[in-house]
Structure 1
Amino acid sequence: MSYIDLPLHNGHVPRWLFSRMVKLARCMFEVIVDEYGADVILDRLADPLWFQGLACVLGFDWDSSGATTVTVAALRQALNRAELGLKVVGGKGKAALATIDTLDEIGDSLGLSHRTIEDLKRISRLSAKVDTCLLQDGYSIYHHAMFISSDAKWTIIQQGMNPSERLARRYHWSWRINNHVIEPHSGIQGVKIHEKVLNLTSQKSSQVHRAIVDLVKEKPTSMKRLIMSLRGQSSLARWIGLDDRPIAYRLREVSINWQALERAYEIQPKNMEELLLVRGIGPGTLRALALVAELIYGCELDWQDPLRYAYAFGGKDGVPYPVNRERMDFVIEFLKDAIENAKLGDKERLLALRRLKGLVKKLGHAYYLVRLA
């Protein structure tokens, strides 16, 4: 799973800087596509460390939440105006909400079939639902962008904000994934580990998924009685004689969409993917269903932030570090090669290389948790 925690920053990028970011991105991506092909760009964008390096090279602060939104906006303008067989839909706020509608136009421009476009829409919706409902880490998704190639391969970059912590967390998805609901991302990076994270995307959650799907196939009136019991109106544990059974976290006051459960009952979803795409199924409803599954079916819930499963080394104040050096060197050399071969003026090329050099120094002192898929 790929995450990176970033300070939450406000403000706007000067127009002159944004236009230069667009130009530099277009020149660099022309070189990469010509040299390696569109698949390689999608693979690089699915790597949060590479993406962060790209944002720095284009001229943005390396550790700012704005690196995601502004860099994606620059890439969208650069790629959508070029003929590289790569297009971008979505973005921040209203642009994210318009992703599904925009996919029709972008899909047509890439020569994709109606069926393929509908598949991409499904993946887009599903990724947003997974990072909102299955991974309840305290970050609300406000940015969603999908990079698509002419052969329907894709990368998704999402970002959520946690205002109370003043942090943003970025999520990367790749067309190479085998499962959209169990460990669907492409590695993990971050510096902030949160407590009491309900992680229904971990490997141990497969049993929970099956139990939840079975539960929603029952009449909603029965589900309502169970959930109300969990909320403290009566003791479900006492009712089924499991008083001595440890329960990690009891159900808190959450918003449960009973109409959505009615729809799910009518649809009878076959799996978690189908359930997530039922209109109205949200994080509160999934949380309640997961707790019922824990008590009734004995499913083990994963309450650890997935960042705990990072491969890293010891460090200051218990925070693992540093960046994987071999991987960092690869990122730097790849970006350096693209800059040196791009059709840029000497001054522009020099400035980009200086920013890349600055990134190397900053990453050398940064604290990271790293997991490669």
Structure 2
Amino acid sequence: MNPSSRTARRYHWHSQDLKSFINEPHTFIYGENQGSILNLTANAATKSREGILELVKESPVKIIKEMQHLSMPAHHDVRMEDVNMKRLGAMLWATHENKPEDFEELLLLKGMGPRALQSLALVSEIIYGTPTRFEDPARFSFAHGGKDGHPFPVPVKIYDETIDTLQRAINRAKIGNSDKLSAIQKLSEISRKAEESFTPNSNFDALVQREREESYKYGGRTVFGDAKPPKKKPINPNNQLELF
């Protein structure tokens, strides 16, 4: 029922060749277009249906425990207290402070600059990380930013490069060559290893400011438009990133 218009949504169902009540049972849907709809009977939603069934089979205690790792603070902007600075700082150090040619050779990820490696390292952790690594989910916003500019505009070029790298790794693995997948996993392992002796400082705001000032270099974009070069002279990165 639609309480505002006091009308009901009615379905007149006719499928002469019905084979399943949950997978493409109807011939078509006709009605007033009200935008995108959720159609769990679509064939493309098979995986979603299977995932829902698996979820309801799980122990409620386990689900609640896992959901606690996904809790977010009651504010939209990303702040220093929202992230584990030791983890974030170690990852940044590992991807930005090594000699690019040596690091790329080690990881078989030639051609990727420090900023692209930063995103890929965070993506790698999402793929290969354990549940305890997701206690500060806001940290992963430093992979590709946010569409509203928090903590910084989406670096479209880096975003595309990350997708392309993952796609090439998957394609190579399909033909038995998993070196790229191994390299991506190695990236997260290096970041975790760096944490053991890493001591960060509190220059979180400087890190965010640098990302925003350099966003235009990577095709930075938000729902409000493209990122622009800073009007004032950028702060020296060597002084700004004292996280290391």
- Given the two structures, how large is their TM-score scaled by the length of structure 1? 0.20
Which structure has the highest strand share of the two?
1
- Given the two structures, how large is their TM-score scaled by the length of structure 2? 0.27
